[in-house]
Amino acid sequence: MRIVVAGGNGFIGSHFVAAAVSKGHKVTVVGHRASPVVPHGRTFEFLPGGLLALSEAPELLARTDIVCHFASNSIPASSNENPAADIEDNLVGTVRLLEAMRKTGSRRLLFLSSGGAIYGRPQTTPINEDHPLNPMSSYGVVKLAIEKYLRMYQENYGFSPIVIRLANPYGPGQTNLGQLGAVNTFLHLALNGEIATLWGDGSTVRDFVYVSDVTSLMLAAVESEVTGTFNCGAGVGTSLLALIALIEKTTGKVLQKQFGQPRPFDPPEVVLDVTRARETFGWQPRVPLAEGIDLTLRG
């Protein structure tokens, strides 16, 4: 297949590109940097300039089987500080891409959404795809708006979108220390004798999913003709204090902790129901958290 990966330089994107290329797919990575950062030894094309450059590349879109949209310039912790920039960079940028795809006849798109930010405070646990959508951050609102635009383009222009709502991914190469990725952040802090800040009392529960499980679901989705929305997580909840205990056991280091006030945009518990993905694609998460922490440490 001919696959374009917007955000292919990022943590999830680079792992996905490596997996897709290893299966023989022809991949074009789209990123903001002037050169790609995907692992060496992988054969792929590269387009600098991000979503804007992709929107202005009709020849590329016209010969693409599927566009994978993993690009995002914000995170939940920072998006509320400048919602207008979040809208302009992520929502408007995505709509421009959809318009460019419509004009070139490209109709298949996989969008990486959020399995935490988009649902808001859970009314049931685990959370399935039919749960009410009440995001608590601009990041989640924009993700939801993009999903709605995808549905609009599906109904009006014959698009074939597939949405993956991702839990908390982790694994080798996740470098947004202190911003994204509790597993990688806590590992780094433990190994370097630094202090971890927990927002609240440490009882916050999250669904941590290893990156190879994420890429295997996304590849299964890309290689199918399925449309729809699918959760992607381990389907298991772990509190931050329990995560720290696993990290201390794996590293042999004691992680120092300090506690701050809970943040209003952090739901107390997010655990995803992944039944739909399992039944549709025959997929299931295979890497337990303890094993994943060890793989991340050695990666």
Q: Each residue of 49-82: pLDDT tens digit?
A: 999 999 999 999 999 999 999 998 877 777 888 9
Average pLDDT, the chain: 93
DSSP codes of every residue in 59-71: HHHHT-SEEEE--
Residues 245 and 134 in one domain: no
Residues 33 and 59 in one domain: yes
In a domain, 279, yes or no: no
Domain count, the chain: 2
Residues 28 and 150 in one domain: yes
**Which positions are catalytic?**
139
- CATH code of the domain covering residue 136: 3.40.50.720
In this predicted structure, which of 20-34, 65-79, 89-103, 170-184 has the lowest mean pLDDT?
170-184
In this predicted structure, which of 76-80, 85-89, 128-132 has the lowest mean pLDDT?
76-80
DSSP codes of every residue in 189-242: HHHTTPEEEEESSS--EE-EEEHHHHHHHHHHHHTS---EEEEES-S--EEHHH
Can you list the pairs that 99-106 forms with residues at least 24 positions away whose Cβ atoms lie under 8 Å?
99/55, 100/54, 100/55, 100/56, 100/57, 100/58, 100/61, 101/61, 101/67, 101/159, 102/153, 102/157, 102/159, 103/58, 104/58, 104/61, 104/62, 105/62, 106/61, 106/62, 106/64, 106/67
Q: Which of 234, 208, 166 is nearest to 10 (CA)?
A: 166
- Residues contacting residue 209 through CB under 8 Å, at least 6 positions apart: 166, 167, 168, 169, 170, 232, 233, 234, 285
Residues 65 and 140 in one domain: yes
Q: Which of 13, 18, 290, 46 is nearest to 164 (CA)?
A: 13
Q: Each residue of 183-195: pLDDT tens digit?
A: 999 999 999 999 9
Take residue 238 and report the two structure tokens written for it: 């772990």
pTM: 0.94
In a domain, 275, yes or no: no
Residues 70 and 218 in one domain: yes
Residues 142 and 256 in one domain: no
In a domain, 142, yes or no: yes
